[in-house]
Chains A and B, each alone.
Chain A
Amino acid sequence: MVNVEEIRGYAAGLLEKGEVKSVLGFRRGSASAFAEPCTLIEASDAASLVWDPTCLNNLALYLVKDRKQQAVSKTPDTRPVGIVAKGCDSRAIGVLLQENYFKREDVVVIGVSCEGTGVVDPRKLSAKLKGRTASRVTFDGADGINVSVYGDGTETVIPAREVLADRCLECRAATPTLNDVVFGETVEARGYNEPFHAAKEAEKVSEDERWANWEHHFDRCLRCFACRAVCPMCYCPECVVDSTTFVVTLGTSAEEKANRIRWCERSANTSESAVYHLTRAIHLAGRCIDCGECERVCPVNIPLRLLNTKLEKEAFEMFEYQAGHDIEQASLLSSFRDEDPNSFIR
């Protein structure tokens, strides 16, 4: 069992010794039963850290955010940042390292093993409760999740596999491979489902049906861009597919602004939303580490993870490539091996 006191102690130590400028972790939020991200500056703050199956966020996002802030700061603070990372989160850090977004010495990875369980999917839980909200969510230590329902105070135990996030059910590496320290026991995946299970299930459906499903989902998209905003790999200052992030400085010429192509209009309709989501999926091929954040944050529950895992499955089957598993490996799209299949080049 992960002892949260150990994580707190380690984080406090890093801050005390001045080895990091801050530690990214989880704390109890005021808004729900789920934990929220926090940034610790003082060692004494470490007592607020929590660790449980509601620590959903992939905090690697904030490593990217910090980099961006330091890049424009007049007095950049380039000291390392400590980060509490699950297995999937550590892979995100791995991809960022492969892509030279920052250096290994810029980050202290406080790995936490999911010990074969994982985190809860709030939508699955919500569906179980028919839209009701949970006021407390904990593991029962075995295969169940204890839930207190808000309002009437009902206590229920739900089998873990019914409310764990899909990515956790399919997880291949519940222990952070990239780490400076790991808390919790190193375990193999519990193997609720085989890898790429959801993607394989989706593939069984006919092409027409699949398209009809995606049309249905794209039509529901609000274009709030939460999926992109939460993704640590979507670090481009300017997203190619939409105009809300156009980077304009005082030096940008009128021609440059006038001739910028809007690949995707702001209208939320089938075609524009399809362009947005499909382009985003393609741009994450070989980079998505399956933290499932895009799908988690979607307010209308579009199964975005399916798009990404489909491409990860292709990368795995064709090139035996798994994003973020080995930072010594060249990234998928920037490497070529003689034995790589080329049947798709015609």
Chain B
Amino acid sequence: MEKILSQEKLREWVDALDDCEVYAPAFADSVWNFARVKAGADIDLSHTNTIGSVKEFAFPQREVFFCFEKKDGVPVLTPTLPDPKPTVVFGVRPCDGRGMPRNDTVFNKEFEDPYYWARRNKLTLVGLACNQPHSPNCFCQSVGGSPHAEEGLDILMTDLGDRFHVKGVTAKGVEAMERGRDAFDAVSDADQAEVEKVHATSRSHSQRPLGNLDAIAEAIRESFDSPLWADMAQHCIGCGICTFLCPTCHCFDINDEVINPTTGEGERVRTWDNCQFPDFTMHTSGHNPRGDLGSRLRQRVSHKFLYFVENHKTQQCTGCGRCITECPVGIDIIAVLERVGQS
């Protein structure tokens, strides 16, 4: 389904989704981030990209698995599977959209993750094509994506200035459009031509190239023992910015948090974790298979551009550029891949 939506009617559509929780990017505390939209009038799609990625709607930073307590000496576990309202997220950039199918793979695979899917199944992602790159570090086209890629999105919107072109990509997306059907107009031939022109222009902006991705995977495999990794991680501070902001990083920790030490009552909690932290791979004995920053940088890069490819035939990177832009010391995954490729 393809429709035209005028800028003024956007709020009408949002208001028609009143049985859903609606989120959209909002500029607060000097950063763009997803925030709850209470009314259509609040929506503002003039954003660049959000600082946090859309993954947090299915994989929140903190997820309680179950509560535990003791009754007559016997442990009683109460699962806390989430049961969210249908959630519609506006303003999802295509790079984030492409991240979600990659996360879906991880949370499916051999074992289905019920907490992820309880949220994911209620999620409708409304994408917004990027008419121009937001930063010099956008590289979606270098990893097989595009500024108007539909993969992972339920709806793709394209900003045509005074109006949006809105395309329902999945049944879920079409359904969300149906709910606001009065707000939409038919697509004229002129509209269609303009969408194509905007998309073509958006693809023509230069992005930093990565070259042949198969060659990169091979180069990573060959350079496992290379001193390059330690050199490139020389100024790494070992924080969690690159992975926490990444739309595809999914590693986590599980801990028991005791609420009442007397009764032993507490919660088992999943939290985001990060391959850059020192304890991530440390055995209880103190032995650490990745004990230095060089091997941790190698792991982050190898996982995205080699290991994930070996298992799932696609990169686990969608070129959003957050890890580059937000790194406090300028570690740049494109530059890293270039150097590995040249070695």
Contacts and interface: CB of A to CB of B under 8 A. Distances in A.
B27 A151 contact: no
A329 to B, nearest CB: 29
A32 B134 CA distance: 12
Interface in A228-262: 228-230, 243-246, 248-252, 257
A102 B120 CA distance: 52
A226 B234 contact: no
Interface string A84-97: 00000000000000
Contact of B328 (A30, A223, A226): A226
Contacts of B271: 223, 266-268
A276 interface: no
B285 A223 contact: no
A229 B237 contact: yes
Interface in A48-63: 57, 61-62
Interface in A277-303: 293, 296-297, 299-302
Nearest to B269: A267
B241 A299 contact: yes
B245 interface: yes
B235 interface: yes
A280 to B, nearest CB: 14
A267 B272 CA distance: 9
Contacts of B280: 244
A140 to B, nearest CB: 22
A1 B125 CA distance: 52
A244 B48 contact: no
A252 B286 contact: yes
Interface stretch (B79-87, B303-311, B319-327): B319-327
Interface in B235-259: 235, 237-241, 244-245, 253, 255, 257
Contacts of A296: 328
A61 B237 contact: yes
B47 interface: yes
Interface string A260-276: 00000111110000000
Interface in A124-146: 124, 126-127, 130-133, 135
A267 B282 CA distance: 20
B277 A150 contact: no
A297 B239 contact: yes
B260 interface: no
Interface residues of A, number: 57
A299 B245 contact: yes
B37 to A, nearest CB: 18
A224 B32 contact: no
A200 to B, nearest CB: 21
Contact of B278 (A126, A244, A249, A252): A244
B295 interface: no
Contacts of A39: 234-235
A151 B132 contact: yes
B134 A243 contact: no
A105 interface: no
B262 interface: no
Contacts of A257: 284
A333 interface: no
B136 interface: yes
Contact of A250 (B32, B46, B234, B286): B286
B309 to A, nearest CB: 24
A249 B285 CA distance: 7
Nearest to B292: A69
B254 to A, nearest CB: 10
A157 B205 CA distance: 25
A220 B61 CA distance: 11
Given A225-B240, A266-B269, 11 more contacts: A30-B330, A31-B331, A62-B235, A222-B61, A224-B240, A229-B239, A230-B237, A230-B328, A251-B286, A252-B286, A300-B29
Interface of B: 27, 29-33, 46-49, 51-52, 61-62, 132-137, 205, 234-235, 237-241, 244-245, 253, 255, 257, 269, 271-274, 277-280, 282, 284-287, 324-332, 334-335
18 contacts: A31-B327, A38-B235, A123-B30, A127-B30, A133-B134, A150-B136, A222-B244, A224-B240, A225-B239, A226-B237, A226-B239, A226-B240, A248-B285, A252-B286, A266-B269, A268-B272, A293-B328, A299-B326
